[in-house]
Structures are given as C-alpha cells and as structure tokens.
C-alpha cells in the first residue's frame, strides 16, 4: 500500500463569553471574513444557541479551502490543507502533519500565529479548543481493524480517535483505500466530504469535536467537584458517627452546620454538572452518527467515547456519588437534631 493523498482538517472552535438571549458578538478580528449572523428567533436561540447549525460561509485562501460552521452555541473555523503524492515521493511517505497544519493555520490567520490571535481575542469570545482530522487515501484495500483497537470500519474507510495534544485538542484519523482507478474518485470524495462538509452541512469532525471538547471540560469539572464531595462526605460520615455514639473527637468538635453547608454546595454543583452532561448525550450521539455513518456502532473504546458507554459509565459513577452524598446530607441533618 502507498499513500496517495493526505488531507488535514483543522478546526478552531470558539464560543461567545456571554450566553442566554444576547445576540451573537461581532466576529473576532484576524480570521477569515464571514457575513454577520442574522438575528435568530428567541426560542431557537434559547434551545440551540445564537448560531444556526449550518455552514455560515466558505472561501479559499492561497489555494486552501476554509469553512465557517455555526454549531449552536459555538462556531468552528475549519481549513483543509492537502498533499498529493508524486512520482518522486516513493512508495509510502509519512503523513506530512506539521506542513499541512502550518498551511491550514496560515489560511485562517494569515501572518499571525495562533497564540497571537488568542492573545488578541477581545472579551466577547473564548477558546473552546481545536478539532483535527488526519485523512489519508491509500492505494490498496484496508484490512478490517482488530477488535478493541479503537477503530471502526465504515464502508472502505477506517475511522479512529487520534492522540490529542492536551485537554483542548480532539483528533481523529480516517483512512480510505481503493483498488483501481475507477474506485479512486469515490474514495477521495468520501474523505473530502468528511473533511469539508457538504453544501450547508458542517464538517463532521468539527461538529463532533466541538461537542466533545465541551463534554470533556464539563466532565473534568464534575470529576474535580466529585473528588471534593467525596472528601466532605467522608467527613460527614465520621461526624454522624460521633454525634450518634459520642466519645472523644480529635481536636475541636465538628462544626455540623458548616459541614452540612459544604456538603450541600458541592452536591448541588455536581448535580448541575451532571444535568449539563445529560443534555449533551443526544447531540453527541447524533454527531457521532454523522462522523461514523448510520451503520457504524458507537461502542465503548471506539472513536467517540463521549457518546458511547464510556461517557455514560462516567456519568453514572458520578451520579452514584451524588446520591450517596444526598443520603449523608439527610443523616447529617438528623445528627444535628440529636445535638440540639
């Protein structure tokens, strides 16, 4: 097998700092120009966000196509840089990641760098993260990925989760193969649509990536809050035991009202985090279906863990901790009544 075409779809995802019924702010300076977003119906704005879920603009800069996608509560600027093998490249050159990434970023920001752009962001916008897809077209048919490899077969295309550079980076890999010259245009077009979207439909990696970035941010916040709640719950268990059984307490006696307030604050905060994670479940599964295809399973350990059982398992584990804390909050109230 030999690499024929390499495409890198690089998406910068931003969202307005202010939510609610506030109109969409002016576009950030320094990005590819797009027409302003027309005013939205207030009901649509509350349910979906200030941006319609479709392509808002397309263009070409220095031969590199770019797309601006409305994603409800966020916007993605996507540039797709391509490389095609020539006779001088040999049998199987490496995927030119850095060169394509530099070309995509230059198409969006011109002479500015990403850090310079982010530093110049005004108070209206904030960074959600970056979604990236490495798409490659190979001469030859691809093998079925082994079980539990993290990849799924979608027709003649293999889609897998890539390794992100950090919490704010979601990466995917897609490989398509062809056998003869008649099959090549079909496989190439499949990868092109995956990278660029189609007509008014946003690129699937940008759509799923934006949701996955938001889900990851919420999940990390909920996990940190759950760790703090677990520690306070342990204190509540010890304090309830002391209140019921009596006996000495190392140091000053526990401040039950203050402990109850801490427990309630963390428990309510975790419950709100879980409600937001639950609200993302259905959009994540729809976006995962767009990315992988209708027939592809959304399984644990696959390219879309946020939309699979992996994500549900985390939410269920955090919810069990919140319910346990709720029971200890009731017990703490009863313990306070014993001491009054």
Phi-psi region at 181: left, alpha or beta (left = phi > 0; alpha = psi -120 to 50): alpha
* pLDDT at residue 88 in the model: 52
Determine what percent of the chain falls in helix, strand and coil, rounding each to the nearest 5.
45, 25, 30
Mean pLDDT of 45-67: 86
In DSSP terms, 175 is beta-bridged to: 136, 158
* pLDDT at residue 89 in the model: 52
What is the average pLDDT value for the chain, to the nearest integer? Answer: 85
* pLDDT at residue 149 in the model: 66
Q: pLDDT tens across 58-95, in order?
A: 888 888 999 999 998 899 999 999 988 765 555 556 78
* pLDDT at residue 279 in the model: 93
pLDDT of 318 higher than 90: yes
Q: pLDDT tens across 123-172, in order?
A: 788 899 999 999 999 888 777 776 666 788 877 788 988 877 788 899 99
Strand 125-139, strand 169-178: pairing = parallel
Rounded to whole angstroms, how far apart are CA atoms 205 and 193?
11
* pLDDT at residue 50 in the model: 84
Rounded to whole angstroms, how far apart are CA atoms 262 and 256?
10
Mean pLDDT of 20-48: 75
* pLDDT at residue 30 in the model: 72
Mean pLDDT of 318-339: 85
Rounded to whole angstroms, how far apart are CA atoms 210 and 75?
8
Mean pLDDT of 11-28: 80
HSE-CB at 74 with a 13 A cutoff on CA atoms is 24
pLDDT of 112 higher than 60: yes
Strand 75-84, strand 2-16: pairing = antiparallel
| Chain center to CA of 113 | 23
pLDDT of 12 higher than 90: yes
pLDDT > 90 in the chain, percent: 39
- Please state which of the ranges 107-116, 150-159, 180-189, 304-313 shows the lowest mean pLDDT: 107-116
- 235: enclosing H helix or E strand: helix 204-245
13, 76 contact by CB (below 8 A): yes
pLDDT of 280 higher than 90: yes
pLDDT of 20 higher than 70: no
CB within 8 Å of 236: residues ≥ 6 apart: 259, 260, 263, 325, 328, 329, 331, 332
CB within 8 Å of 225: residues ≥ 6 apart: 266, 269, 270, 273
Rounded to whole angstroms, how far apart are CA atoms 213 and 210?
5
Q: pLDDT tens across 200-235, in order?
A: 899 999 999 999 999 999 999 999 999 999 999 998
Q: What is the DSSP string of 87-153?
A: GGG-S-PPP-HHHHHHHHHHHHHTTS-HHHHHHT--TTEEEEEEEEEEEEEEEBPPPPPPTTSSEEE
In DSSP terms, 70 is beta-bridged to: 75
């Amino acid at each position: 097998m030999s690499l024929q075409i390499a495409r890198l779809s690089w998406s910068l995802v931003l969202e307005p700092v202010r939510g609610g019924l506030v109109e969409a702010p002016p576009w950030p300076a320094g990005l590819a120009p797009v027409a302003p977003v027309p005013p939205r119906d207030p009901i649509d704005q509350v349910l979906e966000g200030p941006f319609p879920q479709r392509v808002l603009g397309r263009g070409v800069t220095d031969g590199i196509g770019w797309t601006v996608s409305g994603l409800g509560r966020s916007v993605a600027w996507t540039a797709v840089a391509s490389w095609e093998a020539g006779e001088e490249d040999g049998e199987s050159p490496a995927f030119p990641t850095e060169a394509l990434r530099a070309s995509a970023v230059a198409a969006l920001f011109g002479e500015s760098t990403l850090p310079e752009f982010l530093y110049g962001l005004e108070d209206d916008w904030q960074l959600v993260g970056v979604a990236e897809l490495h798409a490659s077209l190979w001469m030859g048919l691809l093998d079925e990925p082994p079980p539990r490899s993290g990849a799924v077969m979608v027709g003649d295309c293999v889609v897998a989760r890539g390794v992100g550079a950090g919490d704010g980076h979601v990466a995917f890999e897609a490989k398509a193969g062809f056998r003869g010259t008649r099959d090549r245009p079909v496989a190439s077009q499949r990868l092109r649509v995956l990278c660029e979207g189609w007509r008014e439909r946003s690129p699937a990696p940008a759509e799923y990536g934006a949701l996955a970035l938001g889900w990851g941010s919420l999940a990390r916040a909920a996990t940190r809050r759950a760790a703090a709640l677990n520690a306070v719950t342990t204190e509540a268990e010890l304090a309830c035991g002391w209140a019921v059984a009596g006996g000495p307490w190392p140091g000053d006696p526990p401040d039950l009202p203050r402990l109850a307030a801490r427990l309630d604050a963390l428990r309510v905060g975790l419950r709100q985090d879980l409600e937001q994670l639950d609200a993302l479940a259905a959009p994540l599964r729809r976006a995962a279906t767009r990315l992988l295809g209708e027939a592809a399973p959304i399984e644990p350990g696959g390219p879309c863990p946020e939309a699979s059982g992996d994500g549900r398992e985390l939410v269920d584990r955090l919810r069990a901790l919140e319910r346990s804390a709720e029971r200890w909050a009731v017990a703490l109230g009863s313990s306070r009544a014993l001491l009054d």
